[in-house]
Amino acid sequence: MKIRSKFLDLFHLNEKYFLLTAREASILFEFFKALDIRDEMAIDDVQFLAFMKSITDLSRKQIYNVFDMLDIDGSGVLDFDEFYLLACILLAVKDNKEKQFIHRHSRTVFELLDEDGSNNISAEEFETVGFLFNFDKGTIRGLFNEFDVSGDQELNYQEFKMFAMACIDKQNEVDRKRKEKEEKKRAKAAALDAEENPRASSSCVIL
């Protein structure tokens, strides 16, 4: 899932808790009230579709899946608590921190993914909304092979928790590789620069 939103750029999840600060939450609440054009302290699926279409690249079907997942109490609308959770997930994805988010909020994410409340996540359940955390089908199948220790084709909370812990190692590795790549690029650019402007670079060294 890709996110393009100037509004969300104003927010960042707290590094420690992966939630919004109180101030940011109150700004988000104002925004929620603006979306809630009928003044019902809730947004329905049509309002949600328009909002998600404007800031993500998800399809209509995917957006409705997300709506059903977030409507935890099954009321047919999203209240602010449910919307707040979505905002935190969107922010985690925007900042490439979705794996940390899963790790930090493994119980919440587990309950979100376990759509039928069976205390187990099936591959189908994971696939229904996995795109929200940037998991594609292949990755999800691999993940079940690796973490379904009991072999019942489902992840219980213990198994999911192991996955969530591994998730963070994976994210750290991805972050490390990205940093290495950036540093290499920078070094290469500096070397090229030095080649093109030998005088400038030698004066740099003197300075």
Binding residues (CB under 5 A) for Ca ion: these are: 71, 73, 75, 114, 116, 118, 120, 148, 150, 152, 154
Q: CB of 8: closest distance to Ca ion in angstroms?
A: 22
- Cα dihedral: 185, 1, 48, 90 (round 10): -50
- Identity of the residue, 58 or 113, whose beta carbon is nearer to Ca ion in the bound complex: 113
Provide the strand spans (E) within the chain.
121-122, 154-155
Closest approach of Ca ion to the CB of residue 70, in Å = 8
Show the CA angle centred on residue 91, arms to residues 89 and 94, nearest 5°.
110
User: What DSSP designation does 126 have?
Assistant: H
**Closest separation in Å from C-beta 74 to Ca ion:** 7
152 vs 182 by CB, closer to Ca ion: 152
In the complex with Ca ion, which residue's Cβ is closer, 31 or 157? 157
DSSP 37-77: TT-SS-B-HHHHHHHHHHHB---HHHHHHHHHHH-TT--SS
Q: What does the block give as tokens for 86? A: 């979505």
CB of 117 to Ca ion, least distance (A): 7
**Block residue for tokens 């400038």:** 200
Nearer to Ca ion, 79 or 98 (CB): 79
